Amino acid sequence: MRSTLSKITAVLTAGALTMTLAACGGSSAGATTLRVGTLGDAPPSIYLENGRFTGYDNELLRDIAKREGFEVEFVGTEFSGLLAGVANGKFDIGSSTISSTEARKKTVAFSNGYNTGFTTVVTAKGANLKDLASLSGKRLGVVQGSVQDEFAGGKVAGAQVVRFPDYNAGFAQLKNGTLDGWVVPQDIGQKYLDQNPGVPLELGYTVEDKDTPSAFAVAKKNTDLLNKLNDGLAKAVADGTVARIYAQFYKNTPLSKELQQGGPGLPVKNAGA
C-alpha cells in the first residue's frame, strides 16, 4: 500500500510541477519566459512587422534577455493600462518608450534608461503652432496616460485634450481635421511624416524630455529582474550593442553620448531607492 501511495504521490507531484512550470512560462530549453507588454503602432521604437513585435526598444530587450538567461514573449496592449498591468503581474516587463517620471515611479520600478527623446506636436502645414503660447486653447490629441498626455493637460493653457488608445487613431483624426495638433514623441511623429510624404502635416512645437529617459518597467517587488535588466543594459552599452541597434532604427537622430560604447548609461533613481 505504501509503495502504491508513494507512486501516486510521485505522479501527482510531477504533474503539479509541470503545471507550475507551464504557468510560469518555462520554456522547453529551461529558460524562463517573461511576458512583455508593448505597443504595435509606434515605429521606430515599438511596432509590429510581419506579425513580429520589433523596434529599438524590443530588439534591445531581446538582446538583454539573451545575455541574462531568460526569454521574452511580447503581448500587445494599450498604453493606458500598461503600467497597471506590470504592477499587478499581468506583464513582467513594460517595453514602450516609457518615460521614467516621478509619478510613474509610484506604480512601478524602472530600469536604467536606454533612450532620451523629445515631445513634438504634429500639425497641419501652415498652422504655425511653433511655441507653447500658440497651443493655448487648441484641440490636442494624445495617447491616454502618456507623457504627452501630462504635457498637454498640464503645461498648455486651456488645451482641449482628446485621449486615444493608440497612435494610429490620433493620426487619423489629425488628417481628418478634427484635431489642431497630435502630441507624440518626436521620433514617432517624424517617422509618420517620412512614411506619408503626401500628407500635408508638419512638426510644430517641440520640447526635450530631459530628466525622464525611456526605461523598461517592472513590478517594484521584482528587484531580481530589475538587476538583470540593468546588468544586461550596461553590458550592451559597453560593447556597442546599444549603439548598433539604435543606428538600425534611428537613421537621422544621434544617440545620447551616455549610451555610446563605453558611456556610463542613463541611471534612473526609483522611488525609495
Mean pLDDT over the full length of the chain: 88
State yes or no: pLDDT of 151 exceeds 70.
yes
187 confidence band (pLDDT: 50, 70, 90):
confident
pLDDT digits (tens, 9 = 90+) for 206-230: 998 778 999 999 999 999 999 999 9
Pick the more confident residue, 5 or 186.
186
Residue 8 pLDDT: 39
pLDDT digits (tens, 9 = 90+) for 54-97: 999 999 999 999 999 999 999 999 999 999 999 999 999 999 99
Question: What is the arithmetic mean of pLDDT over 176-180?
Answer: 95
Question: What is the arithmetic mean of pLDDT over 41-64?
Answer: 96
State yes or no: pLDDT of 140 exceeds 80.
yes
Residue 25 pLDDT: 40
Residue 6 pLDDT: 42
Q: In whole angstroms, what is the distance from residue 216 CA to residue 266 CA? A: 12
Residue 99 pLDDT: 93
State yes or no: pLDDT of 166 exceeds 80.
yes
Residue 29 pLDDT: 53
Residue 245's region, left for phi above 0, alpha for psi from -120 to 50, else beta, is: alpha
> Could you tell me what percentage of the chain is helix, strand and coil, using 3-state DSSP and rounding each to the nearest 5?
40, 30, 30
5 confidence band (pLDDT: 50, 70, 90):
very low
pLDDT digits (tens, 9 = 90+) for 232-257: 999 999 999 999 999 999 987 889 99
- Which of 24-33, 104-113, 137-146 is least confident? 24-33
Sign, CA dihedral 13-18-19-23, equals positive
State yes or no: pLDDT of 168 exceeds 50.
yes
Pick the more confident residue, 252 or 20.
252
Which spans in 28-135 are helix H? 56-68, 82-87
- Angle, CA 252 vertex, CA 207 and CA 188 arms, to 5°: 50
Residue 273 pLDDT: 62
Residue 98 pLDDT: 95
- Cβ-in-10-Å burial (0-12, 13-18, 19+) of 187 comes to buried
Indicate whether this model's pTM tops 0.85: no
**Residue 184 carries which side chain, given as an amino acid letter?**
V
In terms of Cα–Cα distance, which of 52, 81, 64, 90 is closest to 216?
Answer: 64
